[in-house]
A and B are shown apart, each in its own frame.
Chain A
Amino acid sequence: MRVLKALIAVLALVVIALVAAQVPGGQSLLGRVLPYVAFAIFLGGFVQRVVYWAKSPVPFRIPTTCGQANSLPWIQQNKLDCPSTKAGVVGRMVLEVLLFRSLFRNTQAEVQQGPRLIYGSSKWLWLFALLFHYTFLVIVLRHMRLFTDPIVPFVHSLEFFDGLFQVGAPVLYQSDLIFMGAITFLFVRRLVLNNIRYISLPADYFPLFLIFGIGLTGILMRYFLRVDVVAIKQLTLGLVTFSPVINGQIGTIFFVHLFLVCALMVYFPFSKLMHLGGVFMSPTRNMANNSRMVRHVNPWNDPNIKPHSYASYEDEFREFMVDAGLPVEKEMPAAQEKSAE
């Protein structure tokens, strides 16, 4: 049911785009107005969300420690998994962002006969997540051919290496195949593993379907339902130079592709996809574990409230503590004890 809800939502988006591309003025709306609105919401929402996060104070060091902390000189520290310096944190973040290191440590729990609980290494999620994200990046960078004139030079080498096998015309891009394969894996994983399906919500399936739809319409457009790329580039280049025009016949499929991308941009800042910004903002990743070397003072402490040590606490309440029979570190002065009796 949770799968169906998400699927229906994406199919509804496709139908909206199909219909809107047919009615007069619809193409203009989808192609010349909506992209600006969606892009503005994407940027605005993104900044707003990051600022919102930045407003939460994180007074204390709360990094996840996955290795030996900095300790005595003869105990070897795990500098990446429990960094105590800025350099260590930077190293940890770089590996996390570029190689998904924490996902590499993903384990899978399994109950075997006995019953015995066994944790095994599980690298598939890491592998396919990495493939998915990098091919997504390659595809988006390659799309820069539609948005730049003169074309940024890296596009040519991307296209060359991506089409190295020279299959068919237009040349088949390996990244397209890997992209669709990887996103299918990520989806099937949620369906097939009982425990993952149990915790999956429509908000997990929806972005998968949406991105799958974007990839599928793009691939249909390139390899099957050909479109007039020159006419499309006039529109897309027009969009980024603030003079969008629709010349000639652009296939309906392009508007479905574009509409789904716009939906993704609008959805992005308000969804789990914000992990794009969130990974940099996680205090559990971006802080050094140096609480033993540096004193971290809570910034919202009231300066009028002075520190109250146990010694002074006992000084203040010793009489009552003794009366109540509580143990004290320093006995009452003898004279006072007498008079108290």
Chain B
Amino acid sequence: MYGKGRIIPALLIFLGLMTFPLWYNAGFAHQAPKPEKPAEYKECVRPTQEMRTSHMVMLNQWRDDILREDGARKGVTADGTEYVRSLQNGCMHCHANKKKFCDTCHTYTAVKPYCWDCHLEPKEAM
């Protein structure tokens, strides 16, 4: 092999970069997020699995529907609970603690919804 002096260090740097996640994560305790579910309600506006995957799609649809198409501001869950189709007054009415619910998942997956630039977070006491 020729040029050992340059090629071997270069290969080591390459391997180091490629395996970055393998050594970066060592030494941290990893815990999957456990969003705190509301105590006074039993079900969400849609089936739980659908909420887990697509709640942001739904929020976007609500927003367009209500603000552009003059859609309904109220909805009903499968078992008849009435809710407000709204970010602040709907989602956050049941999921009153943003930090212990929304943020647990979002921090875990590096999501920072910009909604809170304008919309108000529920107060801690609620």
Contacts and interface: CB of A to CB of B under 8 A. Distances in A.
Interface of A: 42-43, 46-47, 50-51, 54-58, 144-152, 155-156, 159-160, 166, 168-171, 226-231, 233-234, 237, 240-241, 247-249, 251, 277, 280, 299
Nearest to B31: A149
A98 to B, nearest CB: 16
A54 B30 contact: no
Contacts of A150: 28
Given A146-B109, A156-B110, A226-B53, 6 more contacts: A43-B18, A50-B7, A150-B28, A151-B110, A228-B53, A241-B25
Contacts of A144: 21
B2 A241 contact: no
Contacts of B57: 169-170, 226
Interface stretch (B8-16, B76-84, B89-97): B8-16
Interface of B: 1-4, 7, 10-11, 14-15, 18-19, 21-22, 24-26, 28, 30, 32-33, 49, 52-54, 56-57, 59-60, 105, 108-110, 112-114
A13 to B, nearest CB: 23
12 contacts: A54-B4, A55-B2, A146-B109, A149-B25, A149-B28, A169-B56, A170-B57, A226-B53, A226-B57, A230-B109, A248-B49, A277-B14
A308 to B, nearest CB: 27
Nearest to A277: B14
A281 B57 CA distance: 47
Contacts of A42: 18
Given A168-B60, A169-B56, A145 B110 contact: yes
A237 B81 CA distance: 37
Contacts of B3: 54
A55 B114 contact: no
Given A148-B24, A237-B25, A170 B56 contact: yes
B2 A228 contact: no
A46 B10 CA distance: 12
B52 A47 contact: no
B52 A230 contact: yes
